[in-house]
């Protein structure tokens, strides 16, 4: 054996297309299923959340204006990048969560397929959920789904990677941008997924990933005035009440979901109705 020094990966946050450490300098330890230390992860602070929201807000208008076809291409590209690094993710999930290799392979496959499935939704949304409304007058009257803005999400603890993708993808399909808190106990594949995002065509700021404690971050997400919607699927049931009350103060739309579902996309869209005179 050589005397080569181990080259270990430093796991950091993913904000505005960059990988900063937490501005607070705080970290927490991640251990594998057998209790063996694996890595120090950033413990995101309120300011990290603020920075992520500023980035997401700045990116929202451009992402929203991208054509549905282009959004689909970008999300499909994430799937391509993930597929090309399949072996790495299978290894990471196996080592970090103590699951079997077969289960890990299935999770990565599901992740890729799920991204492709969501990519397909981008250019079908307005046709399937929009409407041409009957009105008594010389007008066309359309109802079309439009993006809500900046959406926060808490990813579920398990499955850590598939849960993260299920949190992110439906939010960005409709033109929203997202700030997501990864699984607290198994965030490593989430932060490796950020590398996939950084090398795909996702514009900076559209997806921002934090690691840290749900009990800390969730109330800040709920009270932040510049977050328009909040997916609390990954949050423990006993804290839902307080989060909903904090979110109601600023009219935030708060939802939770159990599985992949087109309803997840629609939850963070708003219907806009347009009147257009006939004959002009």
Q: Where are the beta strands (DSSP E) in the chain?
A: 27-31, 37-42, 131-132, 139-147, 150-154, 177-181, 207-210, 229-231, 253-255, 269-277
Q: In residues, how long is the chain?
A: 280
Between CA 15 and CA 106 the distance in angstroms is 29
Tell me which stretch binds another protein (CB under 8 A): 50-58, 70-78, 84-92, 109-117: 50-58
Q: Whose Cβ is closer to another protein: residue 40's or residue 250's?
A: 250
Is 224 a binding residue for another protein by CB under 8 A? The answer is yes
Identify the CA nearest to 209 among candidates 11, 77, 33, 29.
11
Q: Which stretch binds another protein (CB under 8 A): 9-17, 81-89, 119-127, 217-225?
A: 217-225
The nearer residue to another protein, 114 or 252, going by C-beta atoms, is 252
Distinct helix (H) and strand (E) counts, the chain: 10, 10
Q: Among residues 12 and 46, whose Cβ is nearest to another protein?
A: 46
Asked if 53 interacts with another protein (CB under 8 A), we say yes
230 in contact with another protein (CB under 8 A): no
Find the binding residues for another protein in span 238-267 (CB under 8 A): 250
Q: Using the rule CB under 8 A, is 226 a contact of another protein? A: yes
What dihedral do alpha carbons 84, 257, 150, 115 form, nearest 10°? 20
Instruction: Find the DSSP H helices in 199-239.
Output: 214-223
The smaller minimum CB distance to another protein, of residues 30 and 178, is found at 178
- The window from 49-57, 121-129, 177-185, 201-209 that contacts another protein (CB under 8 A) reads 49-57
Binding range to another protein, per CB under 8 A, among 75-83, 134-142, 169-177, 222-230: 222-230
Q: How many Cα atoms occupy the beta-carbon half-sphere of 155 within 13 Å?
A: 33
Count of residues interacting with another protein (CB under 8 A) = 9
Roughly what angle, to the nearest 10 degrees, separates helices 86-97 and 188-198? 160
Nearer to another protein, 100 or 250 (CB): 250
Question: What is the contact surface with another protein in residues (CB under 8 A)?
Answer: 50, 53, 57, 220, 223-226, 250
């Amino acid at each position: 054996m050589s005397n080569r020094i181990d080259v270990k990966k430093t796991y950091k946050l993913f904000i505005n297309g960059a990988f900063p450490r937490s501005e607070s300098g705080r970290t927490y330890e991640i251990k594998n299923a057998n209790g063996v230390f694996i890595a120090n992860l950033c413990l995101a602070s309120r300011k990290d959340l603020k920075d992520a929201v500023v980035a997401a807000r700045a990116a929202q208008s451009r992402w929203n204006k991208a054509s549905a076809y282009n959004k689909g291409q970008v999300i499909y590209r994430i799937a391509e990048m993930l597929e090309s690094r399949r072996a790495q993710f299978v290894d990471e999930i196996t080592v970090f969560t103590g699951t079997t290799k077969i289960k890990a392979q299935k999770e990565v496959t599901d992740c890729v397929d799920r991204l492709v499935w969501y990519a397909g939704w981008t250019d079908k949304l307005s046709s399937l959920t929009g409407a041409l409304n009957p009105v008594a007058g010389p007008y066309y009257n359309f109802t079309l789904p439009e993006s809500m803005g900046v959406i926060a999400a808490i990813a579920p603890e398990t499955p850590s990677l598939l849960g993260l993708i299920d949190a992110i993808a439906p939010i960005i399909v409709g033109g929203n941008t997202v700030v997501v808190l990864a699984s607290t106990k198994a965030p490593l594949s989430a932060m490796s997924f950020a590398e996939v995002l950084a090398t795909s065509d996702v514009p900076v700021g559209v997806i921002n990933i934090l690691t840290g404690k749900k009990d800390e971050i969730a109330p800040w997400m709920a009270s932040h005035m510049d977050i328009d919607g909040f997916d609390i699927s990954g949050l423990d049931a006993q804290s839902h009440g307080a989060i909903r009350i904090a979110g109601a103060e600023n009219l935030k739309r708060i939802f939770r979901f159990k599985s992949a579902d087109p309803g997840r996309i629609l939850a963070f869209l708003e219907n806009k109705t347009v009147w257009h005179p006939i004959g002009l």
